[in-house]
Amino acid sequence: MKSISALAAGLCLAFSLVSPSYSAGGIPTLDVNSIPQLNALLDQLETARAQLQQAQAQVQALTHSSGFGYVLENADVRRMMRESLPSDASALLNRLDGQNSTLSSSVSAISDEVNAPVNFQQDSKALRERSVRIAATKKAMSEQAYNAMTKRLETIDGLQAQINQTSNPKEIAELQARIAIEQANIQADQTRIQLAEQQFAAESALLEERGNVVYGGWFGGRNSQATP
């Protein structure tokens, strides 16, 4: 505001200095002594103009988004992490998506499945196939999660490199915010992976228990309804 006021005052003074004075005969004359003052005033006006432009640039840097919040944004990384637990694994592991929505009903359904009557030939084959499916799904999920996590770390490295290439405080703040978001996403992804590991462990335990029922029933153990 001070720069704008100084600029306006300077313009008024310049106008008064350059306005021609008239002699008694009506012939315009120019005061030679005013020329140095005019030059000094022009220098002041140029300084005020530069200060005004600098102030405008500072306001622009602090109030306008530079778009650095989206630099190195990669939608494929988000998609890879969201799909790191494939749909077939979800169907395999999520025991709450059946017709019964309460936890107690789900527990009962799982228990009934484990203790169901045994057909040794069919059940032994199903156990083998299910065991392979769990192991293969776990390996595929781990590989996909690892690749996506690596890309997130590469994104963070790229954002840090961008910080070193700019001195604009607004851009630096946006880049730092993006880094914080990527770090939070990594933590969220790690939590998802841990939850998936717990689901795999529970599924493996249920598979082992079903194996005890199947093979115990075949050899005259726990389940007397076993059929060859």
Give the pLDDT of residue 96: 47
Domain ranges of the chain: 2-63, 70-218
User: Contact, 21 vs 31, CB < 8 A?
Assistant: yes
Token pair for 212: 């005890």
Pick from 171, 135, 178, 136: nearest CA to 157? 178
Give the pLDDT of residue 213: 87
Name the DSSP class of 223. -
Q: Which residues make Cβ contacts (< 8 Å) with residue 203, sequence separation at least 6?
A: 92, 93, 134
N residues, the chain: 228
Give the pLDDT of residue 66: 56
**Whole-prediction pTM:** 0.49
Q: Which residues make Cβ contacts (< 8 Å) with residue 197, sequence separation at least 6?
A: none
Per-residue pLDDT of the chain (228 residues; tens, 9 = 90+): 555 555 555 555 554 544 444 444 555 555 556 667 777 777 788 887 887 777 777 666 655 555 555 555 566 655 655 555 445 455 544 544 454 445 557 767 878 888 888 788 888 898 999 889 888 988 888 888 888 888 888 988 998 898 888 888 888 888 888 889 888 888 888 888 888 888 889 888 988 998 888 888 555 444 444 444
Give the pLDDT of residue 26: 52
Cα separation, 106 vs 95, in Å, equals 7
